[in-house]
Every structure is written in C-alpha cells, then in structure tokens.
Amino acid sequence: MKRISSVIFQIVVLLVLAIPAFSQENETKVVDEVVAQINDGVLTLSRINREIKAIVDTYVQEGKSRDDALKMVNEKRGELIANLVNEELMLQRAKELGLDSEIEGSINQKFLEIMKQQNIKTLEGLYQEMEKGGLNPDEIREGWRKQATREAVIRREVQSKVYWDATSKELKEYYEKNKDKFTQPETITISEIFLDFAGRSEANVREKAKNLSAQLKAGGDFTKIASENSDRKNEPQTVNIKELDDKFAVLKNLKAGDITDPIEIAQVGINILKVDKKTQASSDSVFDENAVRFALMQEKFPAAMKTFMAKLREDSYIKLNDTYRPLVAPILFADERSKDKPVADTKEKPTEK
C-alpha cells in the first residue's frame, strides 16, 4: 500500500474506448493501418485493437456482458486514441530523459520480489508459472512499464518542478491564506500486509488473505506474519482520516490494535491492515515548509499537467489519419484550443539537429 488515501501521484486513469472496426471482431482477416504518426513513432490499428480487447475482457471479468462492454468502449473510442497518442509521447519523453534503465530496473525488481515470495529460482520458471495460471508475462511487463514510465516522467517534468518552484515568499503567503489546511488533522497510523495478484491465482491469494486475517485476529504477531508473507515491506504510515479512500473507510471506526478483514484492490492485490495509533485533531496551525510545498503542488498540479502535455504535443510532430481526425483531434487538442487560439492537429516535423 504505497498510499491509502487518494493521492495526486496516482493520477493514472485509463479511459475506456474503441475503434470503428471493432464490431467485426469475429472476422479472421488481419487489417492494420497507421492511425497516427507521432514524431518517429506510429500508433497502429492493431495496437488499438489490443487495448480494446484488454478493456473489454476486464469488463467481462467484472460481470458485464460482452455486448454491454463493447457498447461502453465504443462510446469512448475517441478518448482511447487520444490517450494512446499521449502515452506514446510520454514513452518518447522518457527515452529523451534517459529514464529507460531506471524504469526497467523497477520492473525487474518486481519480478524478483515475486520470485522470492514464490521460491522460484529463475525468471523463466516464474514465466512458466504465470502462463500456467493463464497470465501473459509480456503483457504484465508491458503494463508495468507503461505505468512506471508515466509516473517517472510526471515526477521529473511536472511534480518536482511545481514542488520546488515556489519561493519562500509564495510559501508564506499561501500558508497565511490557508492556515486551516495546516492544522493537525485526525490521523491514523497503519501497518500492512500486502498480497500481490501478479503472477498468482487470485483465488489462492484470496484464500491466503482470509487465513492470515484469521490468524491475526486470533492474536498472531502482525510484524512476524507481515515479514513472512507481505509482498511489500511493512513500513507503517500515517494518513489523514479525511483523505482515506472509500475502500479503506472501515479504518475510521477501528481502534488502535484492530485488524481489518482483507481489503481487495481490483486487479492489484489484497491489503490486511493493522491500526497502530490514532491521533486526535487540533485547531492549532503550524508552518511546515514541506507540507506547504506539497499542498501548493497539489493545487497547481492539474493545470501544470495540462500545460506540460499541451507543450509536449506542441513540440511534437503529430499526424492523424484522415479517417480518425474528426473523432480524435477535438479531444487530443482540447487544452490547446481552450487558450482561444487556433491549433492544427498536424504540424511540420521539427528539423533534426
């Protein structure tokens, strides 16, 4: 549990969408075309189809009918293409920043952690076990890569800059105008056991979580059980009660020492949490530079993110296929158009230096 509360750093919302040709999913012939050229990269119809299939399959697994799932993605097909263009720009930006090795290192570490937990000696062995469970290791790796890339670029290019750009004067002024934000809120300190779904049968993970929760509620040593079973290091963290995500609302009514039932995060894993301490709220405000910077960054982040993405598109060569331009351009360039200036959905490719 990197954070229980709804945090700005987890901005990753995948829009669900589709393309015009998807209704012919039962046809066997393969059709491909370039939907968009993005600098030296391309977005193809086959890639979009793969994204659609993954989204539809997820909806079906959640209990929706395939027809309803197809309807939902078809209503959002323009957003999917726009989202994938932005994703390609982020991937390219990560390469320019030299983040590839850092990203690959974080992904490899995840696989190593799973191998350790499952007592598997080789990566090939882990892949084989994943495949036995119906999982595709390449798809898992690619999903992690996309998420890690987006997070790394956003940290480097947006969050870090907004965080450190504020001057001492600006921080003091913001604090004086928002003292109520810097009073001591009611907080809760929590320890966790996290069981990852990746590379495992979800049914087996649920059964294990149920058994661990029973052991803990019967008086088991939380620290020992966490050390032996958690897929993440147990690092107690303190969070604002008011910022708890709905999934963790049960914590508001627990006392110090209480253990939660298993809390499932769809497609991610399961948390079992222990309440270590609760601290009552205080009306006294305190100036803490880091807290003020973080609050100011949260406030400025949405606009800064839009500006960053608009600039990224502006500095890039983006050419949309004529078939998709009317559907995608108004969405893809919405931020640029909001500045009351005309924006073309194509531009001349920058001269290489």
Residues 18-36: tens digit of each pLDDT? 333 333 444 444 558 999 9
Residue 305 in domain: no
Domain boundary among 259, 279, 299: 279
- Indicate if 188 and 155 belong to the same structural domain: no
Please check whether residues 259 and 336 belong to one and the same domain. no
> What residue numbers bound the domain in which 111 lies?
97-165
pTM of the model: 0.64
Tell me: do 72 and 137 sit in the same domain: no
SS3 135: coil
Whether the predicted pLDDT of 310 surpasses 60 = yes
Q: How confident is the model at residue 337 (pLDDT cuts 50, 70, 90)?
A: low
Residue 287 within any structural domain of the chain: no
CA atoms within 13 A on the CB side of 212: 28
For residue 259, name the pLDDT band (cuts at 50, 70, 90): very high
Distance CA 330, CA 269 (A): 37
* Sign for the pseudo-dihedral over CA of 64, 65, 67, 68: negative
Q: What does the DSSP assignment read for 245-309?
A: -GGGGGGGGPPTT-BPPPEEETTTEEEEEEEEEEE-----B---HHHHHHHHHHHHHHHHHHHHH
pLDDT in tens, 149-199: 999 999 999 999 999 999 999 999 999 999 988 988 889 999 999 998 877
Dist CA 284 CA 286 (whole Å)? 7
- Based on the domain organization, do 87 and 125 belong to the same domain? no
List the one residue out of 153, 190, 142, 185 whose CA is nearest residue 4.
190
pLDDT tens-digit map of 268-303: 899 999 999 998 888 889 899 999 999 999 999 999
State the Cα torsion 134-135-138-139 to the nearest 10°: 110
Per the structure, how many domains does the chain have?
Answer: 3
My answer on whether 56 and 123 are in the same domain is no
